[in-house]
Amino acid sequence: MKLTVSVLAGALFLASVPGYAHHAEVVYDTTRTISLKGTITKLMWTNPHAMVHFQVKNEQGQVEDWILELSALGTLVRSGWTKNTFKPGDQIEIVSHPHKEGIRRVNFEKLTINGKVIRDKSSD
């Protein structure tokens, strides 16, 4: 019986590791914050995470493609968000932690669309 419980506990732990590995604490640099302003180009309303594609002009005036990683659809819907919350052409402002690998992908601490604050996690 003890061996079965130990094997089951170990299996559950190992099964949880891949799910944890992609979450914000591991993927994003929580010691740094960046601010981005851009234009939404596309929404991917899919699991495991919805993604908002947007374009930002960098300091040299060049357009860069970025991705905003959101929560799972169930979480977004429970928060009152729909796929119509994000429309191509909308102006987006994000205060975020940058991706640890330097890719143009962010989550957010504060999200503003067309001048309206949609969510500010720092005030939660």
- Average pLDDT of the chain to the nearest whole number: 83
61-81 pLDDT, tens digit each: 999 999 999 989 999 999 899
The domain locations on the chain are 28-123
Q: What is the pLDDT at residue 23?
A: 54
Q: What is the pLDDT at residue 6?
A: 46
Band (pLDDT 50/70/90 cuts) for residue 50 is very high
Higher pLDDT, 121 or 71: 71
Q: What is the pLDDT at residue 24?
A: 55
Question: Residue 96 burial (CB < 10 Å; 0-12/13-18/19+)?
Answer: buried
Nearest-5° Cα angle at 119, 113 to 48? 90
**In this model, does residue 16 exceed pLDDT 90?**
no
Mean pLDDT is lowest, of 4-18, 35-49, 57-71, 98-112, for 4-18
**C-beta of residue 56 within 8 angstroms of C-beta of residue 37:** yes
Can you tell me the mean pLDDT for 88-115?
A: 94
Q: Which fold has domain 28-123?
A: OB fold (Dihydrolipoamide Acetyltransferase, E2P) (2.40.50)
Q: DSSP string of 52-89?
A: EEEEEE-TTS-EEEEEEE---HHHHHHTT--GGGS-TT
How many whole angstroms separate alpha carbon 95 and alpha carbon 34? 6
